[in-house]
Structure 1
Amino acid sequence: MRITEVTERFAVAPQVQAADMRDAADAGYRTVICNRPDGEEDGQPTVAELRDAAHSAGIAFHHIPVSGGAFPAEAIAAFARVRREAEGKVLAYCRTGTRSITLDTLANVEQLSADARIERARQAGYDLSPLRPRLGV
């Protein structure tokens, strides 16, 4: 499992497997957010499999799927709520990590400027500069 730490309390990853949940728990993650819809790709583990594995590893699991480049307000709000209420470190994943870091950037839990959020994503390996118009000041 390849995890990219964005902050001390938040990281993103490409698709995880059920067997990765124990490693995530051992690395200190207490919450996992799945940003993929079920069945998006052949061979993708189901949300139910991953939820069961997370719970077995002592990790809270949340499913906030987004697809097609759309980031509805409801998904952003749900992501922000999970991030704010999570105890300990949060790992969010999707196919490549891009949707997860985009949701985090849009949620702006830390109340950072647009430039700071774009730079933080860049340092994690993601170019979110096209989001600038949506981020405000």
Structure 2
Amino acid sequence: MMDPRKITDSFTVSPQIEVEDISAIADAGYRSILCNRPDNEEIGQCGCDAIETAAKAAGLAYRAVPITSGQVSQTDLADFRAALDEMPAPILAYCRTGTRCTMLWSIAQMDHMEPAEIVAAAAEAGYDMSGLVAQMTRG
């Protein structure tokens, strides 16, 4: 069951979505879907290809930037930032729980928003990014 959680007016995260969710995503006004979950992370998860096909059929932009949990490279971050910059907003990003998407968004915003604003936006959506943001501001 889709559970969209709005981070900003242009970026929302969700746990795993299904092909059946695509029409509701389009009807809700999203213009893009961003997958941050690798295929076969969990038995029975809907694959990126099926989501991409359904998204494109519904007129939505689609991009996959699959991130293995706990293993974010500089290339992954660059690809995620490019997706945020290039895809039409609002964007719905999904992974297993939405946390990975929120973490990536938080890192991508470090040059654009105050740390407290990042933490507050994530918290409003139900995600605690305080530790991540604190770790990034120490450096």
Report 1:1-137 matches (<5 A): 1-108=2-109, 111-131=112-132, 132-135=134-137
Using the alignment, how far apart are the partners of 1:109 and 1:58 within structure 2? 31
Q: Secondary structure at the match of 2:105?
A: helix
Using the alignment, how far apart are the partners of 1:53 and 1:109 within structure 2? 33
Using the alignment, how far apart are the partners of 1:8 and 1:121 within structure 2? 13
What is the aligned length? 137
Deviations along 1:51-97, whole A, 9 cap, x unmatched? Answer: 10111111111111112312211111111111112223100000000
CA contact (8 A) 2:6 2:13 kept: yes
CA contact (8 A) 2:34 2:93 kept: yes
Which ranges of structure 1 fall in alignment gaps of 5 or more residues?
none
TM-score if structure 2 supplies the norm length? 0.92
Q: Following TM superposition, by how much is the alpha carbon of 1:135 offset from its aligned partner in structure 2, in angstroms?
A: 4.3
Using the alignment, how far apart are the partners of 2:122 and 2:80 within structure 1? 16
Q: Secondary structure at the match of 1:19?
A: helix
Amino acid in the other structure paired with 2:58: A
Change in Cα spacing, 1:88 to 1:68, as seen in structure 2 (3 Å) is closer
Using the alignment, how far apart are the partners of 2:26 and 2:110 within structure 1? 23
Q: Following TM superposition, by how much is the alpha carbon of 1:128 offset from its aligned partner in structure 2, in angstroms?
A: 1.1
Percentage of matched positions with identical amino acids? 36
CA RMSD of aligned residues (A): 1.6
Q: Secondary structure at the match of 1:6?
A: strand
Amino acid in the other structure paired with 1:38: D
